[in-house]
């Protein structure tokens, strides 16, 4: 889905949905209270959020996995595989599995790290441990109480924050901010660039939790299919993520000349008709290149662009820690180093 505009403010539509939001909150709270989390034999680090998508968990998860690997650990990532049909537990293989089977984010992360898809997080954790994992990264499992977590990190968009501060469907929150933060150990404030100024209203809601700042920047890995410096090309961009505007902002801050864009719902399953429409719009705008996210790009490999279409490439990104010492210290405490 794509985030509706009324999630950004407390307007009439949002207020009308408050009774449904109350029921959603009560159901989530009851689920947490009745659960008996299972503790497994290795540390579990949870990377979650309080909003429905778009906070930037995937690059944060990849960065944490890399930091753990540099410390000599063998991290495995556990995901429910949103958008995929597989129930698991199944280890994701990039050359074998498709986004329709395992989801787009697991397939993207599996390029660099062992990733397991499992609707049952405990079963996924046990399968990963049996395969040699000595630390687990639980991707988007903060609201799932089945698995005991040694460290819980909440990723928050440093600009958008918690939007209108209301729970689904009246707002983007999966649970009330106060309730969610009470179970977290720290907050990751993720910025679209190193120069971004953080929304101070977000900081006032953190209730004394450690706030670790990070930002997005292009990854060293070359963009797939890239043939030229993006700064010298007219670019048409498209994205099927929670908040596409974040992707376009990142591009503009990189100096990319955007001549147009097209948005799709989060986790959108692209087809050839979508690509044909994207190409048509890009050509109408005079674009020399078409640019998308890596998350979207993993779903395009089996599609065929029209003849003579501009090149379609993806922009690899990574999360970079403003003060890496803070996050390394938290990881060390959680893993017992």
Q: Residues 200-234: pLDDT tens digits?
A: 888 888 878 999 999 988 876 544 444 346 777 88
Residue 237, pLDDT score? 94
Residue 153, pLDDT score? 97
Residue 118: half-sphere exposure toward Cβ, Cα within 13 Å = 22
Residue 228, pLDDT score? 45
Residue 225, pLDDT score? 45
CB 90 within 8 A of CB 102: yes
Residue 205, pLDDT score? 84
> Residues of the chain whose pLDDT is less than 70?
1-2, 220-229
Residue 1, pLDDT score? 55
Taking only the tens place, the pLDDT of each residue in 176-208 is 999 999 999 999 999 888 888 888 888 888 878
CB 64 within 8 A of CB 45: yes
What beta strand segments (E) does 37-177 contain? 44-48, 75-79, 90-91, 115-117, 135-139, 151-157
Residue 313 host element (H or E): strand 311-315
Domains of the chain (ranges plus CATH)?
5-218+320-335 (3.40.50.300), 230-315 (3.40.50)
**How far apart, in whole angstroms, are the C-alpha atoms of residue 284 and residue 274?**
15
Burial 203-219 (b: 16+ CB within 10 A, else e): eeebeeeebbbbbbbeb
Claim: this prediction has a pTM higher than 0.85: yes
């Amino acid at each position: 889905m794509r985030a509706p505009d009324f999630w950004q403010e407390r307007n009439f539509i949002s207020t009308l949905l408050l009774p449904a939001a109350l029921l959603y909150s009560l159901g989530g709270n009851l689920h947490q209270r009745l659960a008996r989390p299972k503790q497994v034999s290795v540390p579990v680090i949870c990377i979650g959020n309080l909003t429905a998508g778009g906070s930037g968990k995937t690059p944060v998860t990849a960065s944490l996995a890399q930091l753990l690997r540099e410390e000599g650990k063998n991290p495995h990532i556990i995901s429910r595989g949103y958008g995929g049909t597989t129930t698991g537990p199944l280890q994701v293989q990039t050359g074998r599995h498709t986004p329709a089977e395992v989801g787009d984010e697991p397939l993207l992360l599996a390029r660099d790290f062992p990733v397991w898809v499992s609707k049952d997080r405990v079963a996924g954790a046990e399968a990963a441990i049996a395969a040699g994992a000595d630390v687990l990264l639980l991707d988007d499992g903060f609201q799932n109480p089945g698995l005991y977590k040694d460290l819980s990190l909440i990723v928050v968009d440093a600009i958008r924050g918690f939007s209108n501060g209301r729970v689904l469907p009246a707002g983007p929150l999966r649970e009330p901010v106060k309730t969610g933060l009470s179970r977290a150990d720290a907050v990751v404030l993720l910025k679209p660039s190193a120069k971004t100024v953080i929304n101070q209203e977000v900081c006032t809601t953190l209730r004394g939790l450690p706030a670790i700042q990070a930002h997005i920047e292009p990854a060293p890995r070359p963009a797939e299919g890239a043939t030229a410096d993006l700064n010298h090309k007219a670019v048409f961009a498209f994205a099927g993520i929670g908040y596409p505007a974040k992707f376009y902002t990142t591009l503009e801050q990189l100096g990319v000349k955007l001549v147009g864009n097209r948005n799709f719902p989060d986790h959108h399953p692209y087809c050839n008709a979508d690509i044909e429409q994207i190409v048509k719009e890009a050509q109408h705008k005079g674009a020399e290149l078409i640019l998308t996210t890596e998350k979207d790009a993993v779903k395009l490999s089996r599609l065929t662009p029209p003849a003579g279409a501009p090149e379609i490439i993806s922009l690899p990104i990574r999360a970079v820690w403003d003060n890496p010492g803070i996050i390394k210290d938290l990881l060390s405490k959680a893993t017992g180093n």
